[in-house]
């Protein structure tokens, strides 16, 4: 396997089907992808359990990128899944279109009144579509061809548009701990981080530096970077508590569920980061 970032030959990493590049620090996998192919009950339950964390992260991301996404921004959300990010962005006056290859997810997003293109980016994109912003929320790590996808962004982005990527990173504390455990023969946490055995496992694990290198070699410049840190904290509790549509008992239950999920899945804040890129020279 050749590194997608620096073209060095990658070596097998600690668990089967995963690889590491000693040249740049990029991780990749050849774990099987079975979208639209299997019953997804378990994964759907897990997704729903994660919803409070995802929403809190989306709200923080939208807060920190509010100046980049003014009222009337046309945004494409790649791999929009249930449409939760679009739901959050629309309340801030952003005009959202999703693209989603999983038929079940696409139908769910549609039934929630979102505008969704069925299929993969960029293959399913209509000719001439242009956006002020293109987002990848917990999606970029699932892409089979990161160079192809990054290059294609230039075709669908307005000249001054932004690409926002948020994803789990290999620089994170939990990923490092999981690798340390795998060295000792305990591979469960690392398998979990790769989402081994799920229909859409992670195919890449970027460090901040390798993601930046990928975008730079395609003609983008990093303009902002941050950590999504509102996971299972008092901030999350307050967001839940002060949403007037949620009663106190339900809020407490949601908060407890978020804390439990945080422990179970290892989704800690420092492992989730976001990156904003612009076309170089714009």
Residue closer to Zn ion, measured from CB, 3 or 86: 3
Return the structure tokens found at 22. 């000693």
Q: Residues of 117-152 as b/e, b for ≥16 C-beta within 10 angstroms?
A: beebbbeebeeeeebbbbbbbbbbbbbeebeebbeb
Residue closer to Zn ion, measured from CB, 103 or 217: 217
Residue closer to Zn ion, measured from CB, 24 or 240: 24
Q: Report, in Å, the least distance between residue 42 CB and Zn ion.
A: 34
Torsion, Cα of 50, 29, 197, 15 (10° steps)? -110
What is the binding site for Zn ion (CB under 5 A)? 3, 5-6, 8, 21, 23-24, 26
Q: Report, in Å, the least distance between residue 30 CB and Zn ion.
A: 16
Q: Report, in Å, the least distance between residue 204 CB and Zn ion.
A: 11
When computed from its CA atoms, the radius of gyration of the chain, rounded to whole angstroms, is: 18
Q: Report, in Å, the least distance between residue 3 CB and Zn ion.
A: 3
Q: In whole angstroms, how far apart are CA 206 and each of 21, 79, 99, 240?
A: 11, 18, 23, 31
Residue closer to Zn ion, measured from CB, 3 or 76: 3
Residue closer to Zn ion, measured from CB, 10 or 94: 10
What span, in angstroms and rounded, lies between the C-alpha atoms of 204 and 181?
20
Residue 184 makes CB contacts below 8 A (sequence gap 6+) with none
Q: Report, in Å, the least distance between residue 214 CB and Zn ion.
A: 10
């Amino acid at each position: 396997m050749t590194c997608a970032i620096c073209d060095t030959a990658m070596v097998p990493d600690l668990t089967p089907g995963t690889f590491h590049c000693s040249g740049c620090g990029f991780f990749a996998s050849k774990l099987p992808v079975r979208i639209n192919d299997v019953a997804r009950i378990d994964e759907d339950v897990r997704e729903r359990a994660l919803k409070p964390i995802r929403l809190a992260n989306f709200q923080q991301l939208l807060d920190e990128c509010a100046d980049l996404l003014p009222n009337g921004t046309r945004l494409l959300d790649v791999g929009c899944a249930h449409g939760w990010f679009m739901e959050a962005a629309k309340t801030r006056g952003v005009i959202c279109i999703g693209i989603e290859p999983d038929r079940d997810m696409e139908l769910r997003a549609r039934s929630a009144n979102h505008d969704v293109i069925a299929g993969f980016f960029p293959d399913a994109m209509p000719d001439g579509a242009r956006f002020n912003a293109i987002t990848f929320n917990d999606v970029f790590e699932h892409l089979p061809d990161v160079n192809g996808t990054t290059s294609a962004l230039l075709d669908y982005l307005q000249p001054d548009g932004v690409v926002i990527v948020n994803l789990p990173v290999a620089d994170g504390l939990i990923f490092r701990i999981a690798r340390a455990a795998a060295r000792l023969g305990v591979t469960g946490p690392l398998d979990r981080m790769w989402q081994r055995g799920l229909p859409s496992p992670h195919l890449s694990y970027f460090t901040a530096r390798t993601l930046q290198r990928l975008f730079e070699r395609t003609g983008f410049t990093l303009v902002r970077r941050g950590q999504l840190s509102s996971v299972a904290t008092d901030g999350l509790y307050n967001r839940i508590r002060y949403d007037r549509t949620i009663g106190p008992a339900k809020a407490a239950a949601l908060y407890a569920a978020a804390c439990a999920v945080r422990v179970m899945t290892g989704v800690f804040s420092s492992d989730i980061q976001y990156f904003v890129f612009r076309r170089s020279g714009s």
